Amino acid sequence: MEKTIDRKSMSRIGRKPVTIPAGVTITLDGTKVTVKGPKGTLERNIDKHLSVKIEGTELLVTRPDDSISMKMIHGTTRALIQNMVDGVSNGFSKDLEIRGVGYKCEMQGKNLVLHVGHSHADTIVPPEGVVISTGKNMSIKVEGIDKELVGQVAANIRNVKKPEPYHGKGIRYKDEVVVIRQPSAKKKGAAATAK
């Protein structure tokens, strides 16, 4: 009896083919996937149990079985390859902004220098493949072709001075919503007594 594959049980993300746009080439060498496009080249080693093949302008990732671990690896791998294709085609960016009286940022060559209330300036040195720039109203832009790397650098910048919960001062993502807390009654009473 021929075994049939229940497609509903397959990873929805994993089974979706990756469309290869014009100007992008993908090379397979064992477990290594190389994606080359207008903005650069990215490489990644995938799990040895997965199979990757190119059919025309689509790349398909398949798994050997329907175990939970394989389903997770399957979907993750497909998403990572899609990010590689998007990265070499269009690139990725993260926007941040600084809020706080006296806070500022500036560029010194390729490095970002932050003045955010510490006793010394904080310098962020971008890794290879990532470009940092500053704009109006104390805005910061992190750009690159590697989505993970861009996200990590942006997170590192934010971690220098996370938004504090009472006034919202600090570094935040552009569209980040910071919930402002109200001082507790005890703190208000203590502040009034101190005055």
Least confident stretch, 53-57, 58-62, 183-187: 183-187
In percent, the amount of the chain with pLDDT more than 70 equals 89
CA distances from 113 to 36, 37, 106 (A): 32, 32, 5
Condensed to tens digits (0 to 9), the pLDDT of residues 102-140 reads: 999 999 999 999 999 999 999 999 999 999 999 988 999
Where do you find CATH 3.90.930.12 in the chain? Answer: 9-89, 92-173
CATH superfamily, region 9-89:
Ribosomal protein L6 (3.90.930.12)
User: Is the CB of residue 31 less than 8 Å from the CB of residue 46?
Assistant: yes
Long-range contacts of the stretch 120-123 (C-beta < 8 A, 24+): 122/160, 122/161
* Domain formed by 92-173, architecture: Alpha-Beta Complex (3.90)
Place of tokens 């490489």: 43
User: Is the CB of residue 156 less than 8 Å from the CB of residue 124?
Assistant: yes
Please tell me the pTM assigned to this model. Answer: 0.82
User: Is the CB of residue 134 less than 8 Å from the CB of residue 105?
Assistant: yes
- The greatest distance separating any two alpha carbons of the chain, rounded to the nearest whole angstrom, comes to 86
Condensed to tens digits (0 to 9), the pLDDT of residues 68-94 reads: 889 889 999 999 999 999 999 999 999
Nearby residues of 88 by Cβ (< 8 Å), 6 or more positions away: 24, 35, 36, 37, 38, 39, 40, 41, 42, 145
